[in-house]
Amino acid sequence: MIYLDHAATTPLSEVAWRAMEPYLRERFGNPSEPHAAGRAARAGLDEARVSVAATLGCAPAELVFTGGGSEADNLAVLGRLRDGGRVVASAIEHPAVREPLRAYRGEVAWAPVGADGVIDLVALGALVRPGDALCCVMAANNVTGALQPVDAIAELCAERDVPLHVDAVQAASGSDVRALPGRATLALAAHKLGGPKGVGALAGPGVRDLPAVVLGGGQEHGLRPGTENVAGAAALAAALHERQGPEAVAERRARAARRDRLEQAVGVPSAAHSAARLPGHALLLAGVRGDVVVHQLDGAGICVAAGSACAAGSTEPSYVLSAMGIDAAAARGAVRVTLGPETTDADVDAFVAAFTGARTGLLRAVGSVA
Catalytically annotated residues? 310
- Contact (Cβ atoms closer than 8 angstroms) between residue 278 and residue 147: yes
Cα separation values, 81 from 143, 205, 299, 328, Å: 26, 17, 46, 33
* 152 backbone φψ class: left, alpha, beta (φ>0; ψ -120 to 50): alpha
- In single-letter form, the type of residue at position 127 comes to L
Residue 213's contacts (CB-CB under 8 Å, 6 or more residues apart) are 74, 75, 78, 79, 82
Torsion angles phi and psi, residue 148, rounded to 5? -105, 150
Nearest residue to 198 (alpha-carbon basis) of 20, 54, 14: 20
Using CA atoms, how far apart are residues 134 and 79, in angstroms rounded to an integer?
Answer: 10
Using CA atoms, how far apart are residues 236 and 178, in angstroms rounded to an integer?
Answer: 15
Go through 29-42 and write b for each residue having 16 or more CB atoms within 10 A of its CB, e for each that does not.
bebeeeeeeeebbb
